[in-house]
Structure 1
Amino acid sequence: MNTKLNKSDWVLIALLYGATLILNAIDYYRSNNKLIEYVVDLPTSSLLSIVLILIFLYFLIPKYLINRRKYASFFFLSLLILTFIGCLDKISGILTSGKSIYNIPNIFLFLQSGLYNATDMIGFPLGVLLIKKFYEGQTQFLKIEKQQKENELKLLRSQIDPHFLFNNLNTLDSLIDTDSEKAKEYINRLSLIYRYLIQTKDSEVMELSKEIQFAENYIFLIKTRFEYDYDFEVIKNVSLKDSFIPTGAIQTLLENVVKHNKPDGQQPIRASITIDENRLTVVNTKSNFKVKNDSLGTGLDNLKTRYQLLSDQEISIINTAHNFKVSIPIIKLSE
């Protein structure tokens, strides 16, 4: 479950706390509270309550429940944080009412009261947000699951695309007459590519090292077919061990470079694949070649959808006048 707050979550929080402020203000009026208690207590309680919600949604729940399932640690940390925030709110109320915090008769009862106060502060809004997140997650999961099935069919069709095979056979036919040694290498690389596609067709993610091996074979086919029209570079800044990406992701990015950029015969299309600690980035120069709108971005859209299912991280796309940059997260599979 993604616990990060979105725009609709903040709207819901604003409505909940807006209603709470009004009800508390009416209660303060009936109790003949001082003006300073309106000005300080109500905003302070709301702010501390929102801080608690953020701590639970961005720290405690993701770190101790979703990722690690450390229930005991979650329980004790929650008690400590709730007690601390609740006591801060109680102290604020004591000071604004004109009393002294040194007159607290029983520290244990005060801490207990702070804990009860904090749970009362966030119980309802946090519960509403978690229910909303749960049902949003279920809806999104069903939507992505349906899209995933469609993507799998599209991916399989792209893997056995007759145009891809036809183009490579034409290239191979010309090589047999002109460079038999290179033709043998071409056949070997092509067979490795198809073997890889068949072996990984049911895998959601694949080791980055194997995807890079696939990319090197794929780049060989592209450079052999187009000669000097495309120039590729692979830059490995970190070890590829224990790193994964969606299966076929690099194929999609390389196809995107070739499909949407036609060289002008003077300067090649230059593309680099850079692997850093957490992301793989493909940057290529752009040509003036225009493509049909219905085909532009389809592969990247499918890749975005797959990342929504596999990770809470997103693809970054930067399109400038001269360069096109796509950066995808590297997935670290936890034990």
Structure 2
Amino acid sequence: MHTLNDKWMRVAGVPLLSLLGQWMMYGYTNVPYPDDWRIPVFFVLGAVLVWEANRQGIIVSRQRYPELGQTRQRVLFQLVWFFFFAGIIRITQTLFYDLIGLWQTDDVFEIKPYFFNTLVSVIGTIQLAAMFEGIYLYQRWKVAYTEAQELKKVNLQSQLESLKTQINPHFLFNNLNSLSSLIGSAPRKAEEFLDDLSAVYRYLLQQNNRSLCPLADELQFIRAYFYLIKTRYGEGIFMKVDIDDRLLKHLIPPLTLQILFENAIKHNVISVNRPLTIRLYTRDNTLFVENNFQKKKVAVPSNGIGLQNITMKYKLLDGPPVMIQQDESRFLVGVPLMKPKVEEPV
């Protein structure tokens, strides 16, 4: 998108527009059009040079300020570039005209021809640039609209998956069954289990309308969620956490950890003899979720929607890519942590 689709403009449009601009300039200054073929030829060559120089300014401005919200900076950058390069080329060209005798003047540095030659080139360039900028803005808007629609689709899919978890009969039955067994044997643990169960459901209900949340919230949720899992599997599953406290306010898409934990539990053997260990740790502003890989003999059906949703969310939020690695002994997902926005003082 940083390139310009201006092939025909470069080949024919700029020369024809330059001849039109020259004719208008002579008409405006009431100076008879010169009977010398060299003047229109050199003017066309100058116009081509001006456009080739200024189109680079358009490309550079798009590389530096590509977003819709950076339109003002992009346009100002282009204007400064146009005036600078058009001025250098047209002033040099006008001086060249005088030195080779294309017109007679008593003062080599008479301001009028330099001014009008430069003005015509700048105005012509601005008109062409405005057309290309309009096309660029439309393309950026179209991309932004498409990404917004995709993000809405991903969010709806995420909400659907969250809703499935909330009403999943197996999830609810297993937790109620665990709670029932604890009530008689360990009433204190049953109370703690019920508190964590309610915290899990409360968090699931609250996250549907959020695109990002603090890492601290996710960790608090996953601890409550893991307590439910731990109650069920006992010594068959463990969680180790090594999180840099400085990153707790950094942002992450909600329910990311739940998806990764469910993925690990779903696809790996969990037993006292072969315990599953899930590690959470941070490195270089990235949250890593790692588990020892011990694949079940009977493959569990999977559509991969969970990991796809996480990856798509980061892509649509213009975040760094999600890292996924797997070998014979481990499965690792690296989730980038986004810096929180600095609140402006009131």
Give the TM-score normalised by structure 2: 0.69
Deviates more, 1:199-208 or 1:319-328: 199-208
Match of 2:252 in 1: 245
Match of 1:230 in 2: 237
SS for the counterpart of 1:32 is: helix
1:300 aligns with 2:302: no
Give distance in 1, aligned partners of 2:339 and 2:297: 33
Paired-residue identity, %: 25
Give distance in 1, aligned partners of 2:116 and 2:150: 50
Partner amino acid for 2:53?
T
Change (3 A) 1:159 1:285: same
Match of 1:152 among 147, 159, 167: 159
Deviates more, 1:264-273 or 1:108-117: 108-117
Match of 2:23 in 1: none
Give distance in 1, aligned partners of 2:95 and 2:116: 20
The size of the alignment, in residue pairs, is 310
How does 1:1-335 map onto structure 2 within 5 Å?
Answer: 9=1, 13-14=3-4, 16-23=5-12, 27=16, 31-33=40-42, 43-58=52-67, 61-62=68-69, 74=72, 78-79=75-76, 82-92=79-89, 99=96, 105=111, 116=123, 119-120=126-127, 122-146=129-153, 148-175=155-182, 181-239=188-246, 242-263=249-270, 268-275=275-282, 278-289=285-296, 295-307=302-314, 311-313=317-319, 315-321=321-327, 322-330=330-338, 332-333=340-341, 335=343
Partner amino acid for 2:325?
N
Change (3 A) 1:202 1:134: closer
Partner amino acid for 1:156?
L
Give distance in 1, aligned partners of 2:15 and 2:126: 22
Match of 2:26 in 1: none
SS for the counterpart of 1:273 is: strand
**Conserved? CA contact 2:212–2:254, under 8 Å:** yes
**Conserved? CA contact 1:104–1:110, under 8 Å:** no
Partner amino acid for 1:82?
L
1:266-295: CA deviations, max 9, x gaps? 554333323567543323332233775852
Partner amino acid for 1:21?
R
Change (3 A) 1:320 1:276: closer
Deviates more, 1:160-169 or 1:122-131: 160-169
Q: Structure 2 regions of 5+ residues with no counterpart?
A: 20-36, 98-107
Give distance in 1, aligned partners of 2:110 and 2:166: 73
RMSD: 4.2
Change (3 A) 1:290 1:20: farther
Give distance in 1, aligned partners of 2:81 and 2:208: 52
Give distance in 2, aligned partners of 1:271 and 1:197: 21
Deviation at 1:316, TM superposition (A): 0.7
**Conserved? CA contact 2:267–2:300, under 8 Å:** no
Deviation at 1:177, TM superposition (A): 6.2
Q: Structure 1 regions of 5+ residues with no counterpart?
A: 1-8, 66-73
Deviation at 1:165, TM superposition (A): 1.7
**Conserved? CA contact 1:304–1:314, under 8 Å:** no
Give distance in 2, aligned partners of 1:133 and 1:328: 25
**Conserved? CA contact 1:206–1:246, under 8 Å:** yes
**Conserved? CA contact 1:260–1:291, under 8 Å:** no
Give the TM-score normalised by structure 1: 0.71
1:128-148: CA deviations, max 9, x gaps? 011122234334434543553
SS for the counterpart of 2:296 is: coil
1:150-173: CA deviations, max 9, x gaps? 542332121232111222233344
Change (3 A) 1:129 1:206: same
Deviation at 1:120, TM superposition (A): 3.7
**Conserved? CA contact 1:209–1:241, under 8 Å:** yes
Give distance in 2, aligned partners of 1:79 and 1:104: 30
Give distance in 2, aligned partners of 1:128 and 1:121: 11
